[in-house]
C-alpha cells in the first residue's frame, strides 16, 4: 500500500498556526442548506486508524447506496501523522489522509459521514466542518461520545433525541437514540446539512446497529488497511 509522504505545503505545524486556520475557516461553514434528502443518493463514511509508534495514519472512505446500504466503492490512503496530538485539533492529524482517500474514489461521495464532530466542538469547527469547508461536500458528524457538552438522556425508543448543549445553552447537536434501549450517538452539523437532516441521515444509516453502517464499514476497512501497512513496513524493515 502506497505511503503518502510528507505533509501538504502550508499545513499548520503547531497549535498556534492550527488555531489561526480554524478561525479563518470557521466562517465558511454553511449552515442554511437542508442538504441532500436522507435515504437518497450516495453516502460515504470516513474513518481513520493510527499507529503513532510507526508514525502512520490510515484513512478509509466507503461509499454506500443510501437506499440499500450496499457498498458501492471503497478506498484507502496511508500517510504520516500530520500534526501532534492536541485535543480540539485532531482534524489536523487526519484530514490530509482523509482527503487522499476521498480523491481515490471514482464515484462522487454524496453526503459524507465522519466518526467525529462538526459544530459540537469547543471551537465549533470539528473534523466534519473542516472537511466540509475544504471539499465543499455536505458533511455530518456522528460521534460515540459527547465531548465536553451536556445533554439530557433522550427517550428509550429509536429516534428519540435531546439537545446537545454548550455552556451558554447553545444547541450544537443532538443526542440521538438509533436503537431501542441503547446508548445514544451524538450528531452534529458539519457543512451544508441541517441538524434535522443530519439526524434523519443517521437514522437511515443505523437500521440494525447503534452506529451508522457508513461508520461501521469505514472503521473495519481502515483497521484492515492499517494492519496491512504495518505488515508492509515490517517486511521492508
pLDDT value of position 138? 98
DSSP state for residue 44 in the 8-state scheme = E
- Picking from 218, 13, 205, the residue whose alpha carbon sits closest to that of residue 98 is 218
Measured distance CA(45)–CA(57) in Å, rounded: 17
Spatial distance between the Cα atoms of 146 and 121, rounded to a whole number of angstroms: 9
Residue 172 reports pLDDT greater than 80:
yes
> For residues 112 and 212, what is the distance between their CA atoms, to the nearest angstrom?
12
- Spell out the SS3 assignment of 56-80: EEEEEEEEEECCCCCEEEEEEEEEC
> Rounded to whole angstroms, how far apart are CA atoms 32 and 24?
19
Average pLDDT of the residues in 212-233: 94
Nearest residue to 213 (alpha-carbon basis) of 202, 205, 204: 205
Per-residue pLDDT at 8:
82
Please report the pLDDT score of residue 233 as a whole number.
Answer: 79
- pLDDT-based confidence at 221, cuts 50/70/90? very high
Identify which has the larger pLDDT, 107 or 34: 34
Q: What is the pTM of this model?
A: 0.94
Q: When comparing pLDDT for 148 and 99, which is higher?
A: 99
Residue 156 cell numbers, joined? 428509550
Concatenated DSSP letters of 98-109: HHHHHHT-SS--
Mean pLDDT of the 177-195 span: 97
Sign of CA dihedral 136, 224, 9, 89: positive
What structural domains and CATH numbers belong to the chain? 3-8+33-236 (3.30.2170.10)
Residue 185 has pLDDT above 70, yes or no: yes
| Percent of residues, the chain, with pLDDT higher than 70 | 97
Confidence label for 108 from pLDDT (cuts 50, 70 and 90): confident
Burial class (CB in 10 A: 0-12, 13-18, 19+), 198: buried
Q: Is the pLDDT of residue 6 over 60?
A: no
C-alpha cell recorded at residue 221: 476497512
Q: How confident is the model at residue 232 (pLDDT cuts 50, 70, 90)?
A: confident
Average pLDDT over every residue of 230-237: 78
How far apart CA 60 and CA 222 sit, in angstroms, is: 5
pLDDT tens digits for 117-166? 999 999 999 999 999 999 999 999 999 998 889 999 999 999 999 999 99
Mean predicted lDDT score pLDDT of the chain: 94
Amino acid at each position: 500500500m502506497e505511503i503518502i509522504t510528507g505533509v501538504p505545503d502550508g499545513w499548520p505545524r503547531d497549535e498556534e498556526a492550527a488555531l489561526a486556520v480554524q478561525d479563518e475557516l470557521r466562517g465558511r461553514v454553511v449552515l442554511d442548506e437542508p442538504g441532500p434528502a436522507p435515504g437518497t443518493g450516495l453516502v460515504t463514511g470516513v474513518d481513520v486508524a493510527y499507529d503513532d509508534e510507526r508514525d502512520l495514519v490510515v484513512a478509509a472512505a466507503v461509499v454506500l447506496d443510501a437506499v440499500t446500504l450496499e457498498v458501492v466503492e471503497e478506498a484507502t490512503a496511508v500517510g504520516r501523522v500530520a500534526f501532534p496530538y492536541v485535543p480540539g485539533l485532531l482534524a489536523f492529524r487526519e484530514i490530509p489522509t482523509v482527503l487522499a482517500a476521498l480523491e481515490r474514489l471514482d464515484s462522487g461521495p454524496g453526503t459524507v459521514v465522519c466518526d467525529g464532530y462538526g459544530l459540537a466542538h469547543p471551537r465549533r469547527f470539528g473534523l466534519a466542518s473542516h472537511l466540509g469547508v475544504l471539499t465543499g461536500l455536505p458533511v455530518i458528524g456522528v460521534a460515540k461520545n459527547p465531548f465536553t457538552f451536556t445533554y439530557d438522556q433522550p427517550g428509550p425508543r429509536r429516534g428519540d433525541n435531546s439537545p446537545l448543549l454548550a455552556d451558554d445553552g447553545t444547541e450544537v447537536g443532538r443526542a440521538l437514540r438509533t436503537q431501542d434501549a441503547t446508548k445514544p450517538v451524538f450528531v452534529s452539523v458539519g457543512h451544508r446539512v441541517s441538524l434535522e437532516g443530519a439526524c434523519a441521515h443517521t437514522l437511515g444509516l443505523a437500521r440494525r446497529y447503534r452506529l451508522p453502517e457508513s461508520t461501521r464499514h469505514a472503521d473495519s476497512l481502515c483497521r484492515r488497511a492499517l494492519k496491512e501497512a504495518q505488515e508492509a513496513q515490517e517486511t521492508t524493515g
